[in-house]
Structure 1
Amino acid sequence: MSNINSLFRERVGIPQNEMITLENLDAVLEKTAKEIPFENLCILDDRTADITEENLVNKIMKRNEGGLCYELNSVLYLFLVENGFDTSLIRGVTYDQKNQNWNSIGKTHVANVVNHNEKLFIVDTGFGGNLPLKPVPLTGEVVTSANGEFRVVHTDSKHGDYIFYMKLKHKDENWKKGYAFHSKEIVGDIKELNEVQKIIVEHPESPFNKKPLVTKLTDRGNMILTEDSFIQWVDGKMERKALHGDQFKKLAGKYFRIPLD
């Protein structure tokens, strides 16, 4: 196996000799969600790099940073392939909850589709606080995790043939659309995701090229760090702290272990 297998296990806390199967993949997804933050700091610092295996390893495994969906799910893809999974990367269009319509910047969400015994599953570790933490079958079946309920429904639209839905624990009373995707339009090489990164970095409507965002899940909820606040969700209750001075840098290091030197 390649170096990424060993480094990924070390980063998220998986024993080097543990066999990874579909049955224990939920444990891998939980550890990943709690160890590797979803964040956009390299974009705002103007230090993005081409999407290659080497650059992803350097950023996420060696420099202890996080990333956005196209980085986090690419790393997971490489790890799954090394562990014998039949998996492919797909691109999707996210749903704008605020304006109640599909985002106009195109297919900028990236996730994994795993084929296990001819049954397909969405495996996603790059959707911020909306992570299912388990493989979600493309059958409409509801999957329940510590983060809520999730399902993928076959729905033909101009954006694809499936829609990922979520109902987050303590936050949502009704199902919300997450993203639409075409299950047969797969990414042939992770280098193709440089197109996604270019859109995220340059597009005026991109949600990730304006203000810093760092978030990850915890045992009892999640944490969100922005330029002016630090939010902790604990057992459904939200605590917000206003930030001043260099508190952002300190909190990024303390709670997310991101070195901001």
Structure 2
Amino acid sequence: MSGLNALFRKRIGIPEDEQITFEHLDTVLEKTAKNIPFENFCIIGNKTSEITRESLVNKMLVKKEGGLCYELNSILYFFLLENGFDAVLARGVVYKNETREYQTIGRTHVTILVVHEEQTYLVDTGFGANLPLTPVPLTGETVASDNGEFRIRQVDSEHGDYVLEMKLKHKDADWRIGYAFDSKHPVTDVSEWNEIQRIIAEHEDSPFNKSPLITKITDQGNITLTNTSFTQWRDGVVTKEKIDDARFKELLKQYFGL
């Protein structure tokens, strides 16, 4: 077993001798979402490094930090390859539902496409609190998890050829768009993400270079911490606490182990 495979299993809590099949992906996705947070601390701290397989292993599996979509889905992609999956990475554009338009910084979302028994599925562990937690087929079929309902529609546009739609549990009354993605230009070389990292770090419209953010899925819902607030969703009930820097550090250690 490779170092990445063993370290990933240890980080999310899966035994080294457990075989990972397609039917196990729900468990893998749930454990990953609950143990490796979505966060932008390296962007905020100007501590980014070149993206390679080795740097991703060091950041998230050795130093036990979190990451953004291009990091989280890349490390999961490598884990899936190690366990015999037919997987590629794909680029997408996140939709801003509040303004009903796609982000202007381009295809900076990274997701995974897995082929199983001649059917393609979207697998994503890098979309903050909006994670499907289960493979989503590109057929349009609706799938459900503890986080809500998800489906994919084929929509050809300048942003790609498919759209992920979601109806989050306790949050959405109607379907809304998560992001568009491009299945026609798969990516297998993570060095392509250095461009995405640069855009996210430098672009004035980037949502992740303004203030620190960390979020993860929990057994009851999800938690999100910024430098000014701590938000918890627990069984459909949301609480939000205004915080200062000292409280931020205290909550970061208590809930995220950082």
Which residue of structure 2 aligns with residue 220 of structure 1?
220
- TM-score normalised over the length of structure 2: 0.98
| Structure-to-structure mapping, 1:112-191, within 5 angstroms | 112-191=112-191
1:164 is displaced (CA, Å) by: 0.4
1:64 is displaced (CA, Å) by: 1.1
Distance between the aligned counterparts of 2:157 and 2:122, measured in 1?
18
1:35 is displaced (CA, Å) by: 0.5
1:188 is displaced (CA, Å) by: 3.1
Which residue of structure 2 aligns with residue 97 of structure 1?
97
Distance between the aligned counterparts of 2:131 and 2:36, measured in 1?
13
1:229 is displaced (CA, Å) by: 0.7
Distance between the aligned counterparts of 2:31 and 2:207, measured in 1?
26
1:233 is displaced (CA, Å) by: 0.5
Letter of the aligned partner of 1:117 in structure 2?
A: E
Which residue of structure 2 aligns with residue 67 of structure 1?
67
Which residue of structure 2 aligns with residue 238 of structure 1?
238
1:62-86 per-residue CA deviation (whole Å, 9 max, x = no partner) reads 1111000000000000000000000
Distance between the aligned counterparts of 1:37 and 1:5, measured in 2?
19
Please give the secondary structure, in 1, of the residue aligned with 2:126. coil
1:245 is displaced (CA, Å) by: 3.6
1:30-86 per-residue CA deviation (whole Å, 9 max, x = no partner) reads 000000100001111110111111111111011111000000000000000000000
Which residue of structure 1 aligns with residue 210 of structure 2?
210
Please give the secondary structure, in 2, of the residue aligned with 1:216. strand
Query: After TM superposition, which residue ranges in structure 1, 4 or more long, deviate above 3 angstroms?
Result: none
Change (3 A) 1:42 1:140: same
1:207 is displaced (CA, Å) by: 0.1
Distance between the aligned counterparts of 2:21 and 2:167, measured in 1?
26
Please give the secondary structure, in 1, of the residue aligned with 2:141. coil
| Structure-to-structure mapping, 1:36-51, within 5 angstroms | 36-51=36-51
Gaps of 5+ in 1: none
Distance between the aligned counterparts of 2:105 and 2:153, measured in 1?
23
1:222 is displaced (CA, Å) by: 0.3
1:98 is displaced (CA, Å) by: 1.8
Q: Is the 8 A contact 2:70 2:111 kept in 1?
A: yes
1:224-251 per-residue CA deviation (whole Å, 9 max, x = no partner) reads 0011111110000011111124111121
1:146 is displaced (CA, Å) by: 0.2
1:181 is displaced (CA, Å) by: 1.2
What is the percent sequence identity of the aligned residues? 58
- TM-score normalised over the length of structure 1: 0.97
Please give the secondary structure, in 1, of the residue aligned with 2:252. helix
Please give the secondary structure, in 2, of the residue aligned with 1:114. strand
Which residue of structure 2 aligns with residue 86 of structure 1?
86
Gaps of 5+ in 2: none
Please give the secondary structure, in 2, of the residue aligned with 1:42. helix
Distance between the aligned counterparts of 2:223 and 2:83, measured in 1?
30
Distance between the aligned counterparts of 1:77 and 1:188, measured in 2?
9
